[in-house]
Amino acid sequence: MSSLQTPLHKVRGLGASHTGTGHFWRERVTAAALAPLSLWFLYAVLGLAGTSEVTALQFLAHPWNALLMAAFVSFSLYHAALGLQMVVDDYIHTAGARLFLLLGIRAALLTCWLVSLFAIIRIAAL
């Protein structure tokens, strides 16, 4: 016998804490999605720099651009939630402060997400 782990334990791959693998994976998957989305975002903001609100409205009202902006905002904020949680997990050692910070961070990021999506939909509907 080479290992004391059961086959089920190995195939689940969750480690000793039974959690965290999902967090690790989501962070990588959102990062992989954000790499090409960031290039599009750079193309978009550079193209809109120094123009007018008419240009920005027309550009973002295009279905593809609205979808890409919604995807960029959504993946960014989800990735931010995962990353900021890691910072809190690393540096905040009291349970109360950790809970307070995690709830606060998620409330702020969720608000940011809802506001962004509402604005994108509003622009697309104009």
- Which residues lie near other proteins (CB under 8 A)? 28, 31-32, 34-35, 38, 42, 44, 46-53, 55-57, 59-60, 69, 73, 76-77, 80, 83-84, 87, 108-109, 112, 115-116, 119-120, 122-123, 126
- The tokens describing 120, both together, are 């994108």
Shortest reach from residue 104's CB to other proteins, in Å: 12
CB of 15 to other proteins, least distance (A): 16
Q: Which two tokens stand for residue 60?
A: 């973002």
Residue for token digits 């782990």? Answer: 5
Is 20 or 83 the residue whose CB approaches other proteins more closely? 83
By C-alpha distance, which of 80, 46, 82, 69 is closest to 118?
69
Minimum Å gap between C-beta 91 and other proteins is 10
Number of residues that make up the chain: 126
Q: Which two tokens stand for residue 61?
A: 């009202």
Quote the least distance from Cβ 115 to other proteins, whole Å. 5
Indicate the residue among 16 and 49 with the shorter CB distance to other proteins.
Answer: 49
Q: How far apart are the C-alpha atoms of 12 and 18, rounded to whole Å?
A: 9
